[in-house]
């Protein structure tokens, strides 16, 4: 598929399957632009080898990847765990730069970011690959695949920016899979976006080393971390990674001053105890900040957890209450359309500030980043 | 068609094969030994064979000066190993014993390391020639690996007629299968087309798994090998080899040791490559990997390298595979036969 066709498909896709928004704009899930495309085997496997950043050479032509805490040591011809970084003659290449496999125009609430330009559109994209393997992965077809196994399209950062401007999206979102594995692309998109007056947000598992995180945070506006659990054993079983690295990322985000929101997917019988919710809340309160928004989201069966039922609403309510009791100021529920826990309330006077349902903003009463009634400042990126 | 929907068909084929093999097993003690490992029911301690034969055919000089293989020495060494593994006098009889003419046979090669450290095309094609001589039509023999690109880099000529040579490539992966330690898409050719398979691996070191031999070769039959390297591959190699798509179709294991590599793998590091000039064959995937590991360790010692265990990468998955009932890991119960 040529880029022009692809962009045409974006435009066409944006005309259908619209999600009505109260301000009259339309946020449209992007339609599959690849339906008519041919397999990419004839297109160099859809790969775009670009020298990778954040790595160091080892003896015998090996390379140590420095993007995520796995620190994969990669021999000639091999790839790291994410499947997106390949050693070619002693040089590590990212194979996914400028090769998104998913592209959408979403409300920022879908990410979810509730304290970043509420009601705004985010041009959202992903490349294939992930450095974890969560048993509930919602996008496993693209996140758990190697890049050549997924249809992709060439979309350099400048094209991303121009597409966002064309669609009236003030935000660029690196999301759906794991932006850490395409961190070079994230940085380049964010730089190009910043020059054009657009902000970039990252939706990540937080499994990232210090330097690439710092380099991303210099360019982006906000970082959302999917905190999968608060128990190291569960985290290992569920994702294959180590929780301590994600907690360290959250501390680094706090120290660096990057706007951060946290999502905790509540999985019945696995990470849904009140004790875990309290543990999470205490960690956030003490080490990230009590004003950090935390979203408890509802699990639905997916990927390898097909036999686990959806999260009962009562469980989510219990988690939310526990987190509020522990001192968090902005605790939300997700994937529960119409629940009062989707809305933002002033921690001082308790009045609703932003009323939401699903991914739509029904009412935004905020004035200059503060409560219009008691003038309490509400943290976030509001303008 | 999903692999799970094919399972009953595979089970039927297995029963037919077991019956065939059982009748042949009465012919010789060697044959009975080779019968120790047969595609069987779901893995478990009761299905573990009691002993195994691993035949090693070494022919100094098989690796020619130009990098190719001497055809006569190849046929002699590999043929002797394959024949002995199956308890027969010739490789053609061995193939006749292990495969039926109506089988669709896949020879899974390993080309990741490129021309220097791969299953040599001559080896795979020699096996294909014996299969044909045993009555399997050429068009029912597939030599395959992950991608066309890797096959080409290893010196294979792709073919869509006669003996097929091809890669699974981007679009050749089937439905998602949860196989315990991970979930993968298996190559459609394995899940849907093949009725019998040969693991035709390489004698080489692997910096995480310790060694990459016959069982680890199946990493190339799933879409996400990069996700299967935690804990020295110990949870993954046995479970993947135990999956019915592999286990119920596996008839023969061959390790190409014409040029081995004792360190720095799985990619090619010429410094650690050496001409072992031999071929390993067995019907037992665990036993052949146990012997292959011994060969690598011996070479490491000669080269002044520490044992793999000292580098915290001893192939623990071999014992784990034995515990699953996939074969024999105990040296005492492995008959290593130089032929």
Confidence tier at A75 by pLDDT (50, 70, 90): confident
Closest-approach residue (CA) in chain A for B168: A149
* Model pLDDT, residue B9: 29
Q: Is A123 helix (H, G, I), strand (E, B) or coil?
A: strand
> Are the Cβ atoms of A41 and B169 closer than 8 angstroms?
yes
Task: Say yes or no: A43 contacts chain B, CB-CB below 8 A.
Answer: no
Task: Say yes or no: A283 contacts chain B, CB-CB below 8 A.
Answer: no
Task: Say yes or no: A82 contacts chain B, CB-CB below 8 A.
Answer: yes
Residue A5 φ then ψ, to 5°: -60, -40
Confidence tier at A21 by pLDDT (50, 70, 90): very low
> Are the Cβ atoms of B112 and A61 closer than 8 angstroms?
no
Could you report the per-residue pLDDT of A346-360, keeping only the tens digit for each? 999 999 999 999 889
Task: Say yes or no: A42 contacts chain B, CB-CB below 8 A.
Answer: no
Residues A154-176: what's their mean pLDDT?
96
Inter-chain CB pairs, A–B, below 8 Å: 72
> Are the Cβ atoms of A149 and B149 closer than 8 angstroms?
no
Among residues A310, A312, A280, A307, which one has the least CA distance to residue A295? A280
Among residues A341, A377, A350, which one has the least CA distance to residue A112? A341
Q: Look up residue B196 and give its DSSP letter.
A: E
Task: Say yes or no: A307 contacts chain B, CB-CB below 8 A.
Answer: no
Query: Structural domain of residue B174, as residue ranges?
Result: 3-338
β-strand pairing of A102-107 with A121-126: antiparallel
* Model pLDDT, residue A37: 36
Closest in A39, A61, A303 to B183, CB measured = A303
Residues of chain A in contact with residue B147, where contact means CB-CB under 8 angstroms, are 45, 148
Closest in B173, B183, B264 to A149, CB measured = B173
Is 50 exceeded by the pLDDT of residue A192? yes
> Are the Cβ atoms of A78 and B112 closer than 8 angstroms?
yes
Residues of chain A in contact with residue B169, where contact means CB-CB under 8 angstroms, are 41
Q: How many CB atoms lie within 10 A of CB A170?
A: 17
Residues A169-189: what's their mean pLDDT?
98
CA of residue B180 relative to chain centroid, distance: 22
Residues A9-23: what's their mean pLDDT?
34
Q: Which of A165-174, A219-228, B15-24, B46-55 has the lowest mean pLDDT?
A: B15-24
* Model pLDDT, residue B28: 56
Q: What is the DSSP string of A272-313?
A: --HHHHHHHHHHIIIII-TTS-EEEEE---BTTBTTSPPPPH
ipTM over cut 0.95: no
Q: Look up residue B99 and give its DSSP letter.
A: -
Q: How far apart are CA B238 and CA B182, in angstroms?
A: 12
Closest in B227, B266, B271 to A133, CB measured = B227
Which spans in chain A are helix H?
3-13, 140-143, 157-167, 183-195, 210-217, 232-239, 243-256, 274-283, 313-325
CB A129 within 8 A of CB A84: yes
> Are the Cβ atoms of A78 and B267 closer than 8 angstroms?
yes
> Are the Cβ atoms of B170 and A78 closer than 8 angstroms?
no
Number of domains in chain B: 1
Angle, vertex CA A241, rays to CA A237 and CA A242, nearest 5: 100
* Model pLDDT, residue B33: 52
How would you write the pLDDT of chain B (339 residues) with one tens digit per residue?
333 333 332 333 333 333 434 444 444 555 555 554 554 444 444 455 678 999 999 999 999 988 889 999 999 999 999 999 999 999 999 999 999 999 999 999 999 888 888 999 999 999 999 999 999 999 999 999 999 999 999 999 999 999 999 999 988 999 999 999 999 999 999 999 999 999 999 999 999 999 999 999 999 999 999 999 999 999 999 999 999 999 999 999 999 999 999 998 888 888 899 999 999 999 999 999 999 999 999 999 999 999 999 999 999 999 999 999 999 999 999 999 999
Residues A19-44: what's their mean pLDDT?
36
Residues 6+ apart with CB under 8 A from A297: A112, A263, A264, A265, A266, A316, A333, A334, A335
Closest in B114, B223, B229 to A77, CB measured = B114
Q: Where are the domains of chain A?
A: 41-94
To the nearest 10°, report the CA torsion of B174, B179, B181, B184: 0
Residues of chain A in contact with residue B114, where contact means CB-CB under 8 angstroms, are 77
Q: Look up residue A118 and give its DSSP letter.
A: T
Closest-approach residue (CA) in chain B for A61: B269
Among residues A39, A86, A245, which one has the least CA distance to residue B168? A39
Interface of B with A (CB under 8 A): 112-114, 147-149, 169-171, 173, 176, 178, 182-183, 207, 223-224, 226-227, 229-230, 264-269, 271
Helix/strand/coil percentages in chain B, nearest 5: 40, 20, 35
* Model pLDDT, residue A121: 96
* Model pLDDT, residue A27: 37
Q: Which residue has the higher pLDDT, A11 or A245?
A: A245
> Are the Cβ atoms of B224 and A60 closer than 8 angstroms?
no
Q: Which of A3-12, A200-209, A242-251, A293-302 has the lowest mean pLDDT?
A: A3-12
């Amino acid at each position: 598929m040529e880029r022009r066709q692809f962009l045409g498909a974006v435009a066409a896709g944006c005309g259908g399957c619209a999600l009505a928004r109260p301000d009259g704009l339309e946020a449209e899930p992007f339609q599959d632009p690849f339906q008519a495309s041919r397999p990419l085997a004839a297109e160099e496997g859809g790969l775009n080898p670009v020298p990778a950043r954040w790595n160091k050479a080892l003896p015998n032509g090996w390379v140590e990847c420095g993007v995520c805490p796995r620190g994969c040591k990669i021999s000639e011809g091999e790839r790291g765990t994410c499947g997106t970084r390949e050693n070619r003659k002693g040089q590590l290449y990212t194979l996914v730069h400028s090769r998104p496999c998913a592209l959408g125009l979403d409300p920022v609430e879908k990410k979810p970011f509730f304290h970043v330009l509420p009601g705004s559109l985010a041009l959202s994209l992903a490349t294939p690959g992930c450095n974890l393997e969560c048993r509930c992965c919602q996008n496993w077809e693209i996140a758990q695949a190697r890049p050549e196994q997924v249809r992709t399209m060439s979309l350099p950062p400048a094209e991303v920016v121009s597409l966002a401007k064309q669609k009236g999206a003030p935000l660029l979102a690196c999301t759906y899979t794991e932006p850490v594995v395409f961190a070079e692309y994230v940085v380049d998109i964010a730089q190009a976006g910043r020059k054009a007056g657009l902000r970039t947000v990252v939706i990540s598992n937080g499994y990232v080393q210090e330097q690439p995180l710092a380099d991303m945070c210099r360019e982006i506006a906000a970082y959302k971390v999917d905190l999968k659990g608060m128990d190291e054993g569960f985290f290992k079983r569920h994702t294959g990674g180590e929780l301590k690295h994600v907690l360290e990322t959250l501390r680094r985000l706090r120290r660096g001053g990057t706007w951060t929101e946290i999502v905790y997917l509540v999985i019945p019988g696995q990470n849904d105890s009140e004790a875990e919710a309290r543990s999470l809340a205490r960690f956030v309160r003490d080490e990230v900040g009590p004003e950090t928004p935390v979203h408890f989201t509802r699990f639905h069966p997916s990927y390898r957890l097909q036999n686990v039922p959806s999260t009962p609403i009562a469980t989510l309510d219990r988690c939310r209450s526990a987190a509020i009791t522990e001192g968090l100021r902005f605790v939300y529920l997700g994937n529960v359309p119409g629940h009062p826990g989707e809305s933002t309330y002033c921690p001082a006077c308790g009045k609703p500030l932003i009323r939401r349902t699903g991914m739509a903003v029904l009412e935004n009463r905020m004035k200059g980043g503060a409560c219009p009634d008691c003038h309490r400042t509400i943290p976030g990126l509001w303008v | 068609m999903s692999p799970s929907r094919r399972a009953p068909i595979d089970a039927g084929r297995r029963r037919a094969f077991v019956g065939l093999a059982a009748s042949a097993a009465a012919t010789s003690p060697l044959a009975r030994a080779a019968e120790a490992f047969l595609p069987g029911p779901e893995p478990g301690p009761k299905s573990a064979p009691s002993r195994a034969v691993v035949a090693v055919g070494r022919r100094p000089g098989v690796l020619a000066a130009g990098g190719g293989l001497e055809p006569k020495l190849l046929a002699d060494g590999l043929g002797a190993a394959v024949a002995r593994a199956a308890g027969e006098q010739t490789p053609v009889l061995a193939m006749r014993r292990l495969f039926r003419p109506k089988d669709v046979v896949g020879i899974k090669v390993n080309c990741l390391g490129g021309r220097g450290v791969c299953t040599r095309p001559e080896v795979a094609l020699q096996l294909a020639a014996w299969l044909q001589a045993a009555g399997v039509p050429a068009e029912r023999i597939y030599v395959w690996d992950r991608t066309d690109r890797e096959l080409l880099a290893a010196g294979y000529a792709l073919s869509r007629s006669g003996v097929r040579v091809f890669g699974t490539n981007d679009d050749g992966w089937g439905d998602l299968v949860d196989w315990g330690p991970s979930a993968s898409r298996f190559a459609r050719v394995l899940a849907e087309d093949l009725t019998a398979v040969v693991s035709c691996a390489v004698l080489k070191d692997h910096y995480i798994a310790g060694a990459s031999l016959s069982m680890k070769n199946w990493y190339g039959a799933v879409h996400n090998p990069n996700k299967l390297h935690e804990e020295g591959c110990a949870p993954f190699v046995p479970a993947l080899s135990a999956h019915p798509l592999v286990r119920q179709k596996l008839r023969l294991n061959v390790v190409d040791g014409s040029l081995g590599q004792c360190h720095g793998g799985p990619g090619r590091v010429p410094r650690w490559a050496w001409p072992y000039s031999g071929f390993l064959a067995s019907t037992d995937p665990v036993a052949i990997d146990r012997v292959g590991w011994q060969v690598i360790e011996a070479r490491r010692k000669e080269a002044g390298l520490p044992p793999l265990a000292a580098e915290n990468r001893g192939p623990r998955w071999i014992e784990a595979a034995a515990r699953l009932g996939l074969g024999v890991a105990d040296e005492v119960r492995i008959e290593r036969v130089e032929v």
